[in-house]
Structure 1
Amino acid sequence: MARQLRAEQTRAAIIAAAADLFDRQGYESTSLSDIVEHAQVTKGALYFHFAAKEDLAHAIMEIQSAVARRLAEEMDSRGYTSLEALIRTTFGIARLSVEGPVHRAGLRLATGGVVIRPPLRHPFTEWLEIISRKLVAAVRESDIHQDIDVDAVAHSLVSFFIGTRVVGRSLDPLARQPRRMAEMWHVLIRGLVPVPRRARYLSLATRLEREIGAG
């Protein structure tokens, strides 16, 4: 049991080190030797868990995907409206990105440098499906205009969400990410939500930004 625990701790340390380097340097610019040194493990320990750098990248994206799914499911279970659950999910992902490198690295890996192999699905495909379901439900709940093109809005929202974070990586300090998320939602809410329901969701976006900042 102790040996298994040490193996799990070593694997987690390798993943954390790789994520930090992938986030800061990029996938192509990071070598396995860099990861070994940063994780403070032997090459043998790394190869015991991961046969190649691509396997490490996949492990990081698998973690990111699983956490995002759990976050969306948690929001679903709390009785929020569909639009509130969607907004809270995106802010939850932003919080995770601020708190640790795995989710930041997952995004950077998903936007280039790594070929995603089955059974792993591309995270953008998963996000499109989650957002589309939420938008359809929000239309039924009259929180979003009845005449929207759900596919177009879902694609635009994913692009907006990813683009905000990619641009922010170059131009903004990490702590500003919640502000950018709130700005994104203020634009989207004004375009998607009927006027009588708009104030509620604008207030929610502002409140969630402050909660992340306070945390």
Structure 2
Amino acid sequence: MARARQERAEITRHAILDGAAIAFDAKGFHGTSLTDVVGHAGVTKGALYFHFPSKEALARTLMDEQFQVSENVPAIEEPGLQTVIDLTHQMAFGLRTNVRIRAGIRLVIEFGSFTDPDPTPYNTWIDTCHGCLTPAQERGDVLPSLDVRDLATMLAGSFTGIQVTSHVRTGREDLHTRVIDLWNFLLPGIVPAHRIPDFDPAGSPECRTELGLPAPDSPRVTVG
């Protein structure tokens, strides 16, 4: 009986998060009321308050869910530059297919750009990229003259801008193409010329298979 109650509670919690994600994705944090959330979730306000004490607690939970995209990085034996490339495509895929990730990213931008800015989510992504780029530089895949912390910071900002622009212009339909563009333009400036063919701006074959992405139509970046 205790297990059944626990399972029902977990189902309710997921329903609340799904409902909150739909509401936040549509209206943002300030435009969403708890009445909107329970309406989308199909639960009572009492059930909502049992799991989440406030609208901000709901928002923080959804903001944290974006990091599920990178949860397997610590298990990768040799993370590197291709890991970061793949992460950008995995995040792009999540933004296109997962309302919770879309809501979480919208909330990150709202919380990080306006009143009471919170840099924590950005810093977490910068740390994740830095953790992959440092061994990449040690292996000679990133130019030794570069500060990989600065590079990681630039990548986090660039992806944020690209996904927002893609959302406004095409509803993110072209997001993977724009991410490929980012890497095609970036790789010649950060990778030794003879190493550039080792990296695929469209994501590794394993990444494309996992996400169900087609092989790229455009050629990979070349040098010379």
TM-score past 0.5 threshold: yes
Counterpart-to-counterpart distance in 2, 1:4 and 1:129: 35
Q: Contact 1:182 / 1:206 at 8 angstroms: preserved in 2?
A: no
* More moved, 188-197 vs 9-18: 188-197
**Within the alignment, does 1:24 sit opposite 2:26 as a pair?**
yes
Counterpart-to-counterpart distance in 1, 2:7 and 2:200: 46
Alignment of 1:142-181 (within 5 A): 142-181=140-179
Letter paired with 2:98: G
In the superposition, the TM-score normalised over structure 2's length comes to 0.82
Cα root mean square deviation, aligned: 2.5
Letter paired with 1:201: F
Counterpart-to-counterpart distance in 2, 1:181 and 1:49: 37
Counterpart-to-counterpart distance in 2, 1:37 and 1:3: 23
Equivalence for 1:194: 192
Letter paired with 1:36: V
Q: CA deviation at 1:160?
A: 0.3
Q: 1:38 to 1:112 in 2, by over 3 A?
A: same
Letter paired with 2:94: L
Equivalence for 1:71: 72
- The alignment-based identity, stated in percent, is 32
Equivalence for 1:213: 213
Counterpart-to-counterpart distance in 2, 1:102 and 1:214: 24
Unpaired stretches in structure 2, ≥5 consecutive residues: 216-224
Counterpart-to-counterpart distance in 1, 2:26 and 2:104: 12
Q: CA deviation at 1:99?
A: 2.0
Q: CA deviation at 1:35?
A: 0.7
Counterpart-to-counterpart distance in 2, 1:144 and 1:134: 11
Unpaired stretches in structure 1, ≥5 consecutive residues: none
Q: Contact 1:23 / 1:105 at 8 angstroms: preserved in 2?
A: yes
Letter paired with 2:153: H
In the superposition, the TM-score normalised over structure 1's length comes to 0.86
Alignment of 1:96-115 (within 5 A): 96-113=94-111
Q: Contact 1:165 / 1:177 at 8 angstroms: preserved in 2?
A: yes
Q: 1:25 to 1:71 in 2, by over 3 A?
A: farther
The ranges of structure 1 where at least 4 consecutive aligned residues each deviate by more than 4 angstroms after the TM superposition are 114-117, 206-212
Q: Contact 2:92 / 2:175 at 8 angstroms: preserved in 1?
A: yes
Counterpart-to-counterpart distance in 2, 1:22 and 1:203: 31
